[in-house]
Chains A and B, each alone.
Chain A
Amino acid sequence: MRRIRLGGVALAACLALVLAACGGGDDALEGGTQPNEQSSVTVGSTNFSEQLILAQMYAAVLEKAGVDVTVRPNLGNREVVFPALEKGEIDLLPEYNGSVLSFLQPDATQTTSEEVNTALTPLLDAKGLVALQQSPAEDKDGWAVTKETADKYGLAKVSDLKGKASQLVVGGPPELETRPAGLPGLKKVYGIEDFKEFKALDAGGPLTTSALNKGDIDVGRVFTTQGAIAENGWVVLEEDKPLQPAQNIVPIGRKDAMTDQVKQALDAISAKITTEELTKLNKLVDVDKQDPEKVASDWLTQQGLL
């Protein structure tokens, strides 16, 4: 008799767990949202601190506007996260117009903001996505070296790498080897020869930072608004030939989730984000170890958006 009762309790507990998983429960537990609901938005982000800040900013203003928001930060890199957006597992992503264009069309050569946005619209449209208003802030991809390396090899511009690259080790995200604005681009546009070695690390993350500082790589792929640049006194090589496209911060979302209410709230932030502001915020998170959520809400309050 006792055994049956125990079994009954166990069974009930199990059913409760299963029901919770199958959608009755908290969205934060399940980690997703039903794609047809207009009034709820899931904001995702890829895996570096600027993304975390932007995602929290979007979430905060949307919440203020009365939208039901779930945040799923730090999901991985674009190759993993963008398909999640296409599939509807997330509804909104803070993005960079140049990078998205080359992600969707690897042979894209547009470089100015206008050109990039024009080319981007039909590509996004075909996937049920839409780019909202861009912000003036840009986070471009750059090449950084330590001050010592810059002095030793006389590096100030990207074209200075020519003839020296074969002595240097370069590091960056795994996709750097194949993306057009990465190593292939250096070869094609600048005529820079193969580097001594390529180390697959991360994109603007702790691996590249640590490796560059310790000398395990000589040249690192960085994002120009990273706090680590100033913190470590790195030299970002000047782009003296047009290779990197414009990289305005732009929210990209699923069309059926981007209601007017959502658009309005996000356009308000986009207008106010500048490259300087973004760099400052990144520093607060990267260097001072402040919380992205707090940094985001403090800035929004300052700007009168919260």
Chain B
Amino acid sequence: MSDGPPPVLAAELIRWSWVGFHLDDIRDDLLQHIQLTGLAVLFGLLLAFPLSLAAIRWPRLYGPVLGFTGMLFTIPSLALFILLIPFTGLSIWTSLIGLTMYTLLILVRNIVEGLRGVDRDVREAAEAMGYTRARQLWQVELPLALPVIMAGIRIATVTTIGLVTITALIGQGGLGQLFLDGFTLNFTTPIVVGIVLSALLAFVADLTLVGVQHRLTPWARSRGR
């Protein structure tokens, strides 16, 4: 029976030599992580837009859609991935489908709220000026809804970065693979590296998206944010 300070802490939290030896693997894991996140958010957006537009066009859909997607969120992500395994195996698609579903939930909610939040007067003015429905959407409503939509994209991206690590349990993982390696070998270094890198990744991604938002909404800048 071991007593006293946990032996692992007494040793070291990071063995830098291990890090040096494994830079290639770490880089591959990081790239896979970025890839999974990027694709999930992209697919989520591609699917969320038509869904959101439908929910606005037919408001009666919105309640049930929101309720259903909200329920999906309470399903543990691991269960969702496991459920997909019989269909898509241990391939990247199992992870992608699961991850995309989660981004979808966040994005639909924000896109609908954003579009709905556009001032009625503005919409009516555009209509009066002869804008077609499509032009209204693209040139008036979307730009105005952008802050809320971007907020959704930011949340979706950061959440996905966290979720990708769970896919390590089904053969993918990105940086999550480092957690499993550390677990199997009873070794803290890969775990710490994984945590730090995924936190950094989330931070950088969030910052980048804020930057993108600022570029896309020049009129908001003068409000001194």
Contact = CB atoms under 8 A, between A and B. Distances in A.
Contact of B31 (A29, A72, A74, A214): A29
A170 B102 CA distance: 39
How would you classify the secondary structure of chain B's contact residues: helix, strand, loop or mixed? helix
B6 to A, nearest CB: 11
A206 B188 CA distance: 12
Contact of B184 (A18, A206, A213, A294): A206
B184 A52 contact: yes
Contacts of B42: 14, 17-18
B35 interface: yes
Interface in B3-46: 15, 18, 21-22, 28, 31-32, 35, 38-39, 42
Contacts of B181: 74
Contact of A76 (B169, B186, B215): B169
Contacts of A294: 21
A115 interface: no
B171 A21 contact: no
A32 interface: yes
Interface in B84-133: 85, 89-92, 96
Contacts of B91: 31-32, 89
A21 B90 CA distance: 15
Interface string B208-219: 000000011000
B35 A29 contact: yes
Contacts of B186: 206, 209, 286, 289
A288 B28 CA distance: 26
Contacts of A209: 186
Contacts of A223: none
A3 interface: yes
A97 interface: no
B1 A215 contact: yes
A18 B39 CA distance: 7
Contacts of A52: 184-185
B89 A84 contact: yes
B187 interface: yes
A47 B180 contact: yes
Nearest to A204: B184
B92 A80 contact: no
A148 to B, nearest CB: 8
A21 B185 contact: no
Nearest to B215: A6
Given A72-B171, A215-B1, A21 B180 contact: no
Nearest to B183: A206
Nearest to B91: A32
B136 to A, nearest CB: 16
A209 B85 CA distance: 29
A92 interface: no
A87 interface: yes
B222 interface: no
Given A17-B42, A31-B172, 7 more contacts: A29-B35, A32-B90, A76-B170, A80-B85, A80-B90, A213-B2, A286-B185
20 contacts: A17-B38, A21-B92, A26-B28, A29-B31, A31-B90, A31-B91, A32-B91, A47-B184, A49-B185, A52-B184, A52-B185, A74-B180, A74-B184, A76-B171, A80-B171, A84-B90, A89-B89, A148-B1, A206-B184, A292-B185
Task: Give the 3 A-B residue pairs with the shortest CB-CB distance, closest first.
Answer: A84-B90, A28-B28, A206-B186
